[in-house]
Structure formats: C-alpha cells, structure tokens
Chain A
Amino acid sequence: MIEVKNLVKNYGPKNALDDVSFTIEKGEVVGLLGPNGAGKSTAMNIITGCLSSTGGEVRIAGIDMFENPDDAKKLIGFLPEQPPLYQDMTVDEYLGFVFDLKKCTENKKEHLDGIKKTAKISEVSNRLIKNLSKGYRQRVGIAQALIGDPPIIIFDEPTVGLDPKQIIEIRNLIRNLGRNHTVILSTHILSEVQSVCDRVIIINEGKIVADERTDRISDAVKTGNRYTVKVCGPQRDTAAALREIQGITRVDSLGERDGDAYTFMIESAPGVDIRKPVFFAMSRLGKAIIGMESAQADLEDVFVRLTETVKGGKK
C-alpha cells in the first residue's frame, strides 16, 4: 500500500532522512518510533506530500507521490503533530470545509455524521474550535483525517497532551481503524506501540535501525539472557561478587531495596544459563538469594539500545 524507497531528505547540510526504505502492506498498523529529531515527522510529511524529498520515491497504492500528488493525496488522511484546525470555525463548518477541500463524493451530511460519531464529537458540532478542550481538538483533528474514508491514515503523535482516559479512547479508535485501514502512527510512547501496532519501525538520526513485528521486537537487538536477582547483603559487595562470576557480561544495580536485599540486573552471553553459577556463588558467600526472575528485553530496552548504538558507533 505504501512503498518508500531510498528516501533522502537534506535540510542544508543536515541529513534528516538518510536512505530510508520500507513497504507497508494493506491493513497493517505500523508504529514509527524514534527520539526527538530522528526524522519521524519529516518522513510523515514526505509520505503525505507536504514536503518533497531530496531523493528517493514514495508510492501510495502504486501512485507516485511526486508525479501524481493529487491522486495520491486522495488516498491519505493525515493528522499532523499539531492538528490543523481553524480556530474561528465551528466543528461542523470545519469538517464541511475539509470535505469540500478533499473533493469527496459521498453524501456530505451522512458521511460527516458518521465520522463525528466515530470520533465522538457529535455533541460539540456547533461549538467554535477555539473554545474546545485539547482532547476534543485532537479528536476533531482525527475526524478531519477520516473524511473521505481514505484507505491510509497517518497520525503524528495522536495522543500527546491527552488525559489517560482520552488516550485509551483514541488507542481503541486507532485499533478499530486498523481493521480496515492501513495506519501509520508516530509516537514517543512505547506502550502505545505495543498495545496498538502490528509492526514497529524505529528511526534514529534519519536511518531505520529496526523494522520488526511488535511481538518479535526483542529480536531486533541481540541481547543475552537477562535476569533480575534479589540478594541479601551490602549492595556494593554483592555487585562485585556477581561481576566475578564467569559467564556474566553485565551487572546493573537497580537500586531497589527490600529489607536488607538489593535488586540487580545480570546478563550473560546468549545461550549461557547463569542461574546455577549465581546461586552457588552467592551461597558460598553466605548471601541469600530471595528472588530471581527472567527479564527479556522489552520495547523500551530495544529502543534505548538501538538509539544508543548508533550514537556510540558515530563516536
């Protein structure tokens, strides 16, 4: 549905996107992740035709965005980071304007009523947008993206600044949309991606550093076996003792205290089971282990590692 090939975008000497390629199939919900300034918004703006690229191509359902922008844009609904709302219009006026602007052919009243119901804004139809709360404005922005029932919907940070209840509502809305639309969603919030998206693309410094299914994202980084252990005794001694055990590649003190026990994160090389050596080493020192749990890399770890690795590599 969306094909992005070798996309490059330079702002003067700054390389905002560097050879980015991916393909998104029909019906996928894809999360675009990355730290601030990674190039997420730039990528979205190029895909939606708001911005041109320095090189590469974007195809929407086979239509080239740069050669045939009007046809390609009809297939996309876009909610930018800041919802593009005219403050002096009422919700109805605004949605009517967007309907006309997008040259939609549906029955106007029926179509807009349906969208207002989906976005739950029917009750504010006649209010001026400038008088609406942030949550409602965001939903009007979402409604705007749904007008014309485009097969592709792109949301740039749709839940920023909303209260927890609204966030859940909007996530549910996105999940429902995902049933019969192709959705791209950019966000900082990792749990959002985990709960909503089928697939994650992580961008850092203009490059794609990971592109995986959400449930297999931990494969994106080669982490060893990781465990959290709770050991009684002075924190520093225990950490030093853990570091001496053969097979352990990393020991982090997590700083959690439970009585006289401290919690540590230990990691071994892939394929090495360190649970027994840890148990015997600690019992030799007379330190009681009162808890041990497996801790596989989650999205947050993957994200932090991937975005750090590239930086480290540059140095």
Chain B
Amino acid sequence: MSALYRKEIRTYFTTPLGYAFMAVFLAVSGCVFALTTYQAQTSDVSSYFQLMIFGYIVVVPLLTMRSFAEEKRSKTDQLLMSSPISERSMVLAKFFAALTMFAITVLLSCIYYLPLFGYGEPNVGRAFGCLIGMFLIGACFIAVGLFVSSLTDSSVTACVGTMGILAFLAGISVFNSLIDSYFVRTVLSWISVYSRYSNFAYGMFDIASAVYYVSITAVFVFLSIRVLERRRYA
C-alpha cells in the first residue's frame, strides 16, 4: 500500500495535475477569503468557510478524476491487479494520497489568516473548528470523487460526474425552503453536506456531524472497493 501511496503523491507533483489543483484551490480560496474578510472588514472567517464548500465542488474533482479512470484508460490497472496488493489497499492508498494533497493545500491557504492578526483579533478557536470541518468535508468529497473515478475510464467524465454528485450533496438544503413537508425537509437537511457543515463554521466541534462526514467517507471508500472487486469478478 505504501508503494502505491508514494507513487500517487509523486504523480501529483510530477504531472501538472497537482499544481493545477493547488493553483485553482489557492486562487479561489484567496479571492473568497479577501472578499469575506478584508473586503467585509471583519476578522470572522466563518462565512469564508461556508462559501468555500462550493469551491470544493470545483477543485476536489481535479484531485480525484484520474485516480482510477486514468489507470483503466492506460491499462495500468492490470499491473495493480496482477500484483500482490488487495483492492482495499489500492483504494486506501489513493484515498490517503489525495487527502494528503488536500491537507497540504489547505494548510498552505492558512497563510491568509496571518494578515488578519494585524487588523483585528480573529477567533482562533473558530478558525480551528472550521479547519477541522474543512478537512472532514474534503475527505468526504475525495471519497465521492474516487468512487466516480472507479466507475469510468474517462477522467473528464469522472470530473464532471463528481462535480454533479457533490453539487447535489451540497445543494440539497437549498431546496428546503421550497418544500412544505416537514418530514422531507428534516431528512434533506439531515443528509445535506452543507447544513452539517454550519456547526463547524460557528466554531463548534459537532461530534454528530463529524461522525456523519466520516460515515459518508467510509461508505464511498467501501463502494469504490466494491466497484474494483466487481470488475475483477465481473
């Protein structure tokens, strides 16, 4: 597993993909950060984090689109399949590699906070809660991206498909106000990635939400493993 993990990390840095991801992520987050803090003359970062979830919908698929789709297209999956490595290790190696890239980039974007200390007194605890939320939601989106990538042999399809699913997961709660049924509304807000995220943005460590994100991540990682196994057993 570690061999594949190291190879994945290296691929992110030896192909334009890793840099494209970092550049787009930092550009988008930089703009959003500037608009929500400096422009709005506040040191409160919660609205930045709340808006960034929509940025992830665009950037996370860049990170995961190639994972399995490219292996299948270039037939390198046959090397993995004929090597003494299980499907579970394959998926986990790719998942953690993408998560590492994501974490590195999120940490880089923390530079944005520094100037805030010069202008005001930012709430460090709240920013920290937001970061944890960001990390969890990133893991969740990466798992979705891996799953979609395992379904197709085209990176572009994987990218667009992931964006669609992520937009659906994040956007569900938007329709809440249009729905009369209390029951449906409750269910929708329960499964919505966005409304779960709000608690982190207000600086609370919500254990239920954390469990929710970890579960969604686990489900999609599990589904990716099943897709790979099914390909072998098809």
Contacts and interface: CB of A to CB of B under 8 A. Distances in A.
Interface of A: 11, 45, 48-52, 69-71, 73-74, 76, 78, 80-82, 84-89, 93, 97-98, 100-103, 144
A85 B77 CA distance: 10
A54 to B, nearest CB: 9
Candidate in A70, A89, A97, A101 with the most chain B CB atoms within 10 angstroms:
A101
Interface residues of B, number: 25
Contacts of A98: 79, 83
Contacts of B78: 45, 50, 78, 80, 84
A100 B1 CA distance: 9
A89 B74 CA distance: 13
Given A100-B3, A101-B3, A49 B79 contact: no
B11 interface: yes
B14 A89 contact: yes
Contacts of B234: 11, 51-52
A17 B79 CA distance: 22
Nearest to B3: A100
Contacts of A82: 74-75
A34 B15 CA distance: 40
B84 interface: yes
Nearest to A12: B234
Contacts of A51: 81, 232, 234
A50 B84 contact: no
A81 B75 CA distance: 9
Given A93-B10, A97-B3, A100-B6, A70 B79 contact: no
A149 to B, nearest CB: 14
Interface string B78-92: 111111111000000
A115 to B, nearest CB: 15
Contact of B86 (A45, A70, A84, A100): A70
Interface of B: 2-4, 6-7, 10-11, 14-15, 74-86, 232-234
Main SS at interface, chain A: loop
Nearest to B77: A84
Main SS at interface, chain B: helix
A73 B74 contact: no
A25 to B, nearest CB: 22
A74 B74 contact: no
A101 B83 contact: yes
A87 B166 CA distance: 30
Contacts of A86: 7, 11, 74, 76
B76 A97 contact: no
Contact of A84 (B3, B7, B14, B76): B76
B79 A84 contact: yes
A73 B84 contact: yes
9 contacts: A52-B234, A73-B83, A76-B82, A80-B75, A86-B76, A87-B74, A101-B80, A101-B83, A101-B85
A227 B66 CA distance: 60
A73 B233 contact: no
Q: Which 9 A-B pairs have the closest CB atoms?
A: A100-B3, A84-B79, A50-B81, A70-B84, A84-B76, A52-B233, A80-B78, A48-B82, A78-B82
Contacts of B81: 48-51
Contacts of A71: 84
Given A82-B75, A88-B14, A93-B10, A73 B3 contact: no
Contacts of A144: 79
Contacts of A97: 3, 6-7
